[in-house]
Structure 1
Amino acid sequence: MTNLNCFGRHRRRTAPQNSGSRNELFSPPLHSRINGWSLPLHGFQLVAWLIYCFMAIVGFGVYVPLLPAPWSFAAYALIGTAFVLHLVTHVVAVTIDPADVSVRRRKDYSSPMPVFDNSKHQHVIHNLHCTLCEVDVEPKAKHCSTCNKCIADFDHHCKWLNNCVGGRNYWFFFITISSAVIGMILLILVVLFVFIEHYVNPAVLRTAPQFQSKTVCVSKS
């Protein structure tokens, strides 16, 4: 079993000293991630932004303009608020560094450090001290193997944000998810209304000024 000595000089030791070469004691060192913008970007992160852009273009460019007044104004206000709120909180949740305060005070992201590997390290935090980050951490902190640093009030590592969700960005993450759900529900209601009215009463969907001008042009011709 790994012997972690929190009071010795070699705090990053994760195996007995007589185990052989240094490569057997450490995982390959890598730089810790600062936030969700740190390279490499995750595929889910790119997919999330593509979906957001697609929904915004289709919703505000196709479906919402088809609604009759005053429903169109209400849809612009409600769905627009949800989309803007999602955009702001999404960017903030990705940008915030959720690391433990001791890790952020160190500000040594330029230096590579060993990577947490479950097969080599049964645990890296012992007596509130991380043997990889070499700092004392808070009770609810956890070392994330993906971000390669200790996260304060760790909840989970979100691939859609490409960032950890912890105490510093949890509520921004929560608002991001909530606004996305609300915006999608409202947009789905608009799409259902448009499809139903298309077969029941299509004239209701032709109240926008651009449709009126086309109707006048057709009648004059």
Structure 2
Amino acid sequence: VGGKAERGDGAMPMVRKHGWQLPAHTFQIVAITVFFLLVVAFYAFFAPFLGKQILEYVAVGIYTPVAFAVFILYIRCTSINPADPGIMSKFDDGHVNAPESNTGLQGTNMPAKTGIDINIRMQPLKRRSGCYFGGFICAFFVKEDCRKSDDSENQVDAEDALFCTLCNAEVRKFSKHCRSCDKCVDGFDHHCRWLNNCVGRKNYFTFFALMTTSLLWLAIEVGVGIAVLVMCFANTNAEKIIQDKLGNGLTRLPFATIVGIFTLLSLVACVPLGELFFFHMLLIRKGDHHL
């Protein structure tokens, strides 16, 4: 197989670093949209209509941290770069070739020509302490999963090393090249279109946690939705409760239709996610996993 292909202008094709890099996949947009729709539906149409205020507080108290965990895990799993260590230098080239600016030369011994230039150079130093917190948050999302590192993993033996002609680099034995991301992924599991990112050794733990938490989140959504539907038709005062909280423009039938649609959507989402979860559970039992 020949070397890496080039575009017509002679430049190398773009290597995808993470799932937030454009272009976004349609499934990724659908996943994010459905998540926010279900969250809004829960707080607007589900929890307030459980019949008793204590039940509403309990439902919101359980649902909120679970939904927030799904949100954080999704961002983290999508943000991690699962590339093989042998090609990580490719992602540093952008910093080397970045356009130079006055603010980027504060660590050099370039002489300042004017007082304005001195002020420009000093501004990043004054703001540096304020950037630490933002840097910590960014590092939390992009830092790969913590794992036990063996010497065999840190040192690639000549016999175990493979050469990828597409990446033009030596990679680990269990790395595979993803055509969608145009890079070799360490411990490649699959390319997830819902994340627009590959799942590999570096983000598998986060991916598994995301699957588990998402199933719990959807189960809560389905359970509360069914309870609200039962209350809607079993409670004789349901019509009055709906109008008191949502206004006179929404009657029992349209309200039940809205709740039913979102409940069904949550249930449908549970099916493929549940199948994927149990498939990975089988892989874990067989020892063919990255945990």
Q: Output the TM-score relative to the length of structure 2.
A: 0.55
| Aligned partners of 2:69 and 2:213 also within 8 Å | yes
Of 88, 97, 110, the residue aligned with 2:81 is 97
Q: Which residue of 2 aligns with 1:72?
A: 56
Residue pair 1:31, 1:109 contacting (<8 A) in 2 also: no
Which of residues 32, 43, 52 is equivalent to 1:49? 32
- 1:197 is aligned to 2:231: yes
Correspondence for 2:212 = 178
Q: Does 1:165 align with 2:199?
A: yes
Could you tell me which amino acid in structure 2 is paired with residue 44 of structure 1?
F
- CA displacement 1:179-207 (0-9 Å, x = unmatched): 22111111111111111112212448978
Partner of 1:88: 72
Query: 2:222 aligned to 188, 191, 201, which one?
Result: 188
- Residue type of the alignment partner of 1:181: L
- 2:183 maps to 149
Q: Indicate the larger mover: 66-75 or 184-193.
A: 66-75
1:24-57 Cα offsets, whole Å, 9 max, x none, are x947551100100111110111001110010000
CA root-mean-square deviation: 2.7
**Length, aligned pairs only:** 176
2:83/2:183 contact within 8 Å kept: yes
Is 1:34 aligned to 2:17, yes or no? yes
Q: Judging changes above 3 Å, is the alpha-carbon distance between structure 1 residues 102 and 206 closer, same or farther for their aligned structure 2 residues?
A: farther
Return the match for 1:135 from 169, 172, 187: 169
Q: Give the % identical residues.
A: 28
Letter in 1 for 2:37: F
The answer to whether the 8 A contact 2:161-2:172 is kept is: no
Contact 2:5-2:13 at 8 Å conserved across structures: no
Amino acid at match of 2:222: I
Q: Is the 8 A contact 2:78 2:195 kept in 1?
A: yes
SS in structure 1 of the partner of residue 177 of structure 2? strand
Greater helix percent: which structure? 2
Q: Give, in whole Å, the separation in 2 of the partners of 1:73 and 1:99.
A: 43
Find the aligned partners of 1:147 and 1:96 in 2 and give their Cα distance.
Answer: 13
Contact 1:35 1:97 in 2 (8 A): yes
Residue in structure 1 matched with residue 45 of structure 2 by the alignment: 62
Q: Structure 1 pair 106/69, CA: closer, same or farther in 2 (3 Å)? A: same
3-state SS of paired residue (2:53): coil
Q: Gapped runs of 5+ residues in structure 2?
A: 97-159, 249-291
Q: Distance in 1 between matches of 2:236 and 2:168?
A: 67
Superposed CA deviations along residues 128-166 of structure 1, whole A, max 9, x for unmatched, are 121221222112111101100010110000000000001
Please say if residues 190 and 199 of structure 2, whose CA atoms lie closer than 8 Å, have aligned partners that are also in contact: yes
After TM superposition, give the deviation of residue 107 of structure 1 in Å.
2.6
User: Partner letter of residue 97 of structure 1?
Assistant: N
CA contact under 8 A between 1:64 and 1:76: conserved in structure 2?
yes
TM alignment of 1:15-30, pairs within 5 A: 26=5, 28=7, 29-30=12-13
Residues 129 and 136 of structure 1 are in contact (CA less than 8 Å); yes or no, is this contact kept in structure 2?
yes
Q: Give the whole-Å Cα distance in 2 for the aligned partners of 1:85 and 1:206.
A: 35
Q: Which residue of 2 aligns with 1:20?
A: none
CA distance in 1, matches of 2:232, 2:45: 14
